[in-house]
Structures are given as C-alpha cells and as structure tokens.
A and B are shown apart, each in its own frame.
Chain A
C-alpha cells in the first residue's frame, strides 16, 4: 500500500549493472513521443547499411612528453610512477589551436561523482585557458539514459553530447545521422593533423567512434583489454605457496580447489548478476575454450560465439566448477559492488572485472591484487577479448562548419596528453588551490580539488589516452598491471565485426537473452545442456542468420 507514490517517481530503479542502466530509469511507465511536441526536424529512420568505411584518423603519438618509467605502445599503457614536475611540462596546444570561441559551447556528459559545487574555480580557470565559455551539463550515471532520452526529445540538444560506448541509445545511427555532424572528412586520415592531441589517440579507439561507416565523435580512450580475472595474489600465494600462473584448464581447476574453503568462508571465484542473468565470468572462461570474441571468422565464414563448439564446453566447465563449490554460493544474486567487497575482504579470490580494478586504492592496506594471464584449456596459447578501447565518444550537434572547427579545438585541448602543461592543469587544477606538492614530489589533491576536478567531468568530454600513474605512489600495483598487460597484449583478439554495423544486432533480441537464461538454469542444476543447445539454435534462426548476412555484406 505505497500510497504516496508520485507517479513520476515510480520509474526510477537503482540497479547494479549496465543492462539495468539501459533505459532503467525509463522503466515500465514507459517512454513515449520523442519529439511529439517539439519536432526534432530530423529525417526519417534510415536502415541502410553503409558498405564503405570512413578512414580512421592517422595515429601520430605526441613526442614532446616525458619518458615513461615503463614503456607503452598502442595497446600497453606506459607507466609513470610520479607526476611530472611543473618545470618539465611542454606545451601541446599552440595559440592558433586554441578555440577562442565567441558563443558559449554546451556539453552533455556523464558523471559518477557527487555534483560539483556551483562556485567552481577549476571550471572558471579552464574556461579562461580555453578562451571558451564552456557550459557543462553533468548527468549522474544512474539517470543518464533517461536524461539523454528527454534532452534528445526536448529539441535543445547541447553542442557536444557524450555517447556511452556500452550503453548506446537504440537506433543511434539514425539519431547521429539526423542530429549530429559527420566528422569523417574533418578528422579521417591525415586531416587529424590539425588536432595533434586527438591524433595521439590510438586507432582502435577511433574505430569505435565509427557508426554505420562514418566517424561521429572523438573518443575517450581506454586500454583495449576487455574483462580481466582480478585475483588476490597475496592470499593465493599464502595458501598455495606460489603466485597464481595456471597454464591449462587442469592447473586452473587445481588452483580453484586449493584455495576454496567453504567452512572458512572462502571461495575461489564469484560471478555477479548482469541484468536478466548471471555473469559467471564468461569472458575469461569462453576465451579459455577458444570461443570467438562475439563473432569470429572460421574458413571465411562468420561464426558467432554461441555457434562455436567451445561455448558448450565452457558451459559444462562452469557447471563443473559450480558443482564442485568453487563459486561463491551467492553468485546468482551478487551485485558488482558486493563482489568487490568480497574480493577486498578475502572471501572471494578471483572475480571478472575491468582493468582499472588493479589500481583500486580503496583496498585494505597490505592486500595485493593481480590478474591471471590468459591461457587455453588444453595448455596452448591463450586469448583475451579486445574491448571497444573507449569509454564513450563525444558527438557534435549539426552546426555551421566554423563552429564545428571551434568545438574540435575544444576537444583537442581537453585531450592534452600526460606531461603537457594543459594536461597537467586538467588533471590536477591550480597549485595551491586544487593540489599541493610535497617535498618528495608527490601530489596531494586538496578538498577543493576533490570537490571540483572529478565532478566537473571535463575528462568525459575529451581525454588523452589513459596511462598508468597515480597521485600517490603505488609502484608495485603499477608494475603488476604493466607486466600483465605486456604478457597479455599479444593475446588480444578483436571481434571479426569490429566497427561494422548490423541494424538487427543493434536492436538486440530476446533470443540472446534466452541463451543466457538457459545457461543459468543449466549451471544451477535446473535445466539441461540440451536446453542450452536449443536456445542457441533458436537464436541462430531468429536473429543470428540475419545479423550474419548484414555483416557479411560489409566484409
């Protein structure tokens, strides 16, 4: 009898995973009538597939920066143990490359932080340096989809809009085509030379700024590694006497067995809920059995992971591990943050997470985390799935070219690399106000810095390639992460359809959801492996074949 519910409060749901994010806030009360009253003036839905792909910008690393303590490349992040000295900074943006805009520029970005205070000296300073009246509309992550939908429908689209890579709006191609600027000619190939800081972003990121063949935004870079199996190396070493380095399925199983002790409240693995199903660490497990990254090419023919023979082997293996009691028993209802808590307090030793989990500074002192280097079940060479290499891309609303060029300069400035004066300011703010420098060179961010820099979300509009560094010294963690990246980098496996567009795949299908459900039922002992097989073949006939045909048109 929740009598007081305001109808409009009903839709908001707090969830723990990205599937929940997609339209969650929108909920069941439903969304309707985008542009019903305020016509957006876009063209009608186009479902044409572009068969020609625009060239991605030529990758030209910036060379003026400091030498890293541990080297990086296009895939491996370089490591800098400490922040550069102000005296050593170089200038990455010439005066001609500054935007010097006349009209204000508005941006729509996501934030994971509490809102920034209204008196924001960091933003003020950034505006001054950019010579641009930058207005940032910061939307908290929980509500991003809902706010995005209403702002798009409301007609007043901001100049720069962030599209989140893992939470793309449905029919993004049509939306981008109708409302946003095709940047292919302005940035593709060598045209990027006008924006050196943007040219410093690796190609793998740019490939995913391409929607239906055209470049629609500038990327916020992330390392190319997909999910990694984060491991409490300290506890594993304590229990087994050696660092975890399994090189085959059997060794991995033995490791799981050695560290699990249910009576002591300690389990080797845990998964977490992912919307309508459980993620049992699929990406790691599937890679172990040679399953392709989404789609793979086998003898010139596209094969989906569901159709690969390794997929059922993976299912059986996970079930075996589950039945042996190596998974934390609450896995089917465990949220992502609970999983992290369990890793932190040692009740779970391995969990699939993002690569930045290795730099988590909130872990209790003395704990050490690492990641398992991928391996193949039969002991052969391992693979690791290559992710989208970006967090988001920023698209520019349609406008006259002069204005677009100004905005590209803003994006170029905000992508100022590590070691540059601009990048240093964007990361730390003003000395004395947002950070202090101790005698040993370490940087401590002030309260004002904490309250302003992150929450202002400028690094969500545009950012340099992510590198490994830390304001406080965590050399060991950085070294471990770097070593893992060097070991795993040769194993990176791209999806065979990366950068291609399939309208059917974009629409998602409940048949794919049915496969995940069937897997859960099988692993939890409520369903059979045959039901999983059946669900995958239903998927193939219902949507798989169509998607395959759409992709093959572009190959």
Chain B
C-alpha cells in the first residue's frame, strides 16, 4: 500500500481547524431579516429537521403531558383527571426525607467517581487501538473489547460473584490455604469502586467506538504538516490528536453531566442487598423502593422531573464553561 500524498493546498494546517470551529450562527445577521424572507431562506433546513421534530412531538412531548401526575395524588387505573391535585406535596415529601438526600449524595459520588475512573478509559483505549499499525490486530482488539457491552447486568454481576464472591474462585482458594477470606462484593466501603470496575469491564470497549470515529476524522495532512514543522510523537499528539478529539470529549462530558443523577439502576439494584442502602442507595433505587414499588407513581414522576431539571442546569453550566474554554459544547454560543 502506498502512502497517501497530501491532497490539500498548503495552509490548511492546524489553524484552519480552529477557524472552522467558530460558531456558525454568528456568521449571519439575524434581526434585520424579515420573517417571510427568513422562512424563504431557511425552509430547506426546516424540512430537514421536520421528521425529527414530528417524531419527538408525537413520542415525547405529547406523552410528556402525562407527567402532570407529579403534581397529583395519582391513583392508577382511574382516569387521570379524577385524581386529586396535590400541588408540590410530592416534591416536598422528597425534599424533607433524609433518605432522599442520602441517595442524591451517593448518586453524585458515584457519578464523580465514574467520571474520574471510567470516562478516560475509553479515550485511552481508543488511542491505543488507533495507534496499532497492523490492521488485523486492530480488528481483533476492537471486536473483542466491545463484546461485554452485549451482556446483561445479571450476567456481568454473576461473573463477578463467581470469581470474587465469598464462595467464588478466589476465596475458595484462600480458604484452602487457610488464609482469611475477603468478600469484596459485600464490602460497603469499596462498593462504589466495585461499581466502576464493573462499568469499565462492561462498557469501556464499547465506549471507544465514538472516539475512534473522531480519530478517523482527523485529517492526515495535519499530522504531516506537524511533522514537517518538526513535531515529535508527543508534539503531534498534543497539537493534532488532542485538538481533533477534544470537541467530542467535551460534548460527551456535557451530555454525561446531564445524566448526572442517573447511575446504573439495574447494576446497583442487583447488588444493593449485599452492602445495604447506606452505600448503595442511589436516586433511582430510592424512587423505586419509596415510590414505584408501592404503586406511588407520582413520586417516581416527580423525581424524574427533578432529575431533568438538575440535568438541564448542569448541561447549561457545563456548556457555558466549555464556551469559556473556547470549546463548541452542545449548544451554540449566543
């Protein structure tokens, strides 16, 4: 295979990319153009976005009206408007419950730990895979590492029990040697680390895919230009690779923050009884055990609204922060 020659005119270096990242919205003056003219100008774009808007209207916004039960003392199976209104009592009930706040704290702790321990792993793995020069090795590594994503949590937790549980492989061995056994799965103090380890095992490989796409989108001529400028391996990584994938890293980080109050419900609920709610009660499990399971659907919906609002605030704040650091973020700068 021959090495590609540059097909771009000179001057399309690193700088150009930075220029391309500028906010496109700022390019066109807005308020001066009258409505009809704007409509005439933008209707092709409007048609393009129409299918998505229709789908979201039908399958998200209209059904979302049902969330009004967050403000009701909702009785299932009877027409919704026959349930009595409850004002904000579903919310105040949550806010005045110490267990709710304990669950929120646990959730945020787990999110923070996963941001530190889990989030960088797919990036590192993607860089590693990307740097492999043998195509077959890349293919093998990639297709093996993304496999665990397709196992359900029941099975993943089962694996961990089989190997690390009290009667698992490791402890069986320790017992035979008359060494004190350790049950990592029932240890509240390290439970959050255990969760992260499981998430890394299950989803790190799958998470690489998006970063691999970002790496693939980096123009080879940039590396070339950097090399001509005398950049070494580290320099090329710092000045080409990193800027190339930084926007997507920032994007995913912001989206993850929007989901900050959700952490693996199924994963945790499968293991919660072993360590107790002190370590393992998160917002979703709290809502499940204090609302949904008791048929108290209003509580669940109210908590969902709280999660959405917190997510919205976090996304907007993170987006703002990203803008300050010169990143595009999710949402364009105004």
Contacts and interface: CB of A to CB of B under 8 A. Distances in A.
- Whether A and B touch (Cβ < 8 Å) is answered with yes
Contact of A520 (B203, B206, B276): B276
A390 interface: no
Interface stretch (A103-111, A118-126, A171-179, A418-426): A171-179
Contacts of A29: 304
Given A14-B152, A36-B66, A171-B75, A508 B203 contact: no
Contact of A347 (B157, B167, B206, B301): B167
Contacts of A169: 76-77, 295
B197 interface: no
Given A40-B79, A42-B79, A44-B78, 13 more contacts: A1-B252, A23-B293, A28-B287, A28-B300, A34-B76, A34-B80, A36-B80, A171-B75, A171-B76, A179-B77, A276-B277, A333-B273, A521-B278
B107 to A, nearest CB: 12
Contacts of B181: 329
Interface stretch (B36-44, B182-190, B323-331): B182-190
A153 B83 CA distance: 14
Contacts of B210: 1, 3
Interface string B263-299: 0011001111111111000001101111011111100
A26 interface: yes
A517 B290 CA distance: 13
A2 interface: yes
B326 to A, nearest CB: 24
Contacts, number: 188
Contacts of B168: 330
Interface in B191-233: 203, 206-207, 210
A30 B300 contact: yes
A273 B166 CA distance: 15
B97 to A, nearest CB: 9
A277 to B, nearest CB: 6
A152 B75 CA distance: 13
Interface residues of B, number: 70
A33 B65 contact: yes
A330 B165 contact: yes
Contacts of B152: 14
Interface of A: 1-3, 13-16, 19-20, 22-23, 26-36, 39-45, 149, 152-153, 169-171, 174-175, 178-179, 262-263, 265, 273-278, 328-330, 332-333, 338, 347, 507-510, 513, 517, 520-521, 524, 526
Contacts of A14: 152-154, 266
B172 interface: yes
Nearest to B178: A263
Contacts of B293: 19, 22-23, 275, 508
B21 interface: no
Contact of A178 (B68, B77, B275): B77
B271 A333 contact: yes
A275 B266 CA distance: 12
A97 to B, nearest CB: 33
Contacts of A276: 272-273, 277, 285, 289
A348 to B, nearest CB: 9
B294 A170 contact: yes
28 contacts: A1-B122, A1-B210, A14-B154, A16-B154, A20-B269, A23-B295, A27-B265, A30-B304, A31-B292, A31-B297, A33-B65, A34-B76, A34-B77, A34-B79, A34-B80, A35-B80, A39-B79, A45-B78, A149-B76, A275-B289, A275-B293, A277-B273, A278-B273, A330-B161, A332-B273, A333-B165, A510-B99, A521-B276
B76 A333 contact: no
B295 A507 contact: yes
Given A27-B292, A510-B294, A33 B66 contact: yes
Select the residue from B65, B292, B301 with max chain A CB neighbours within 10 A. Answer: B292
Given A14-B152, A20-B269, A174-B75, A509 B294 contact: yes
B207 A1 contact: yes
Contacts of A524: 186, 276
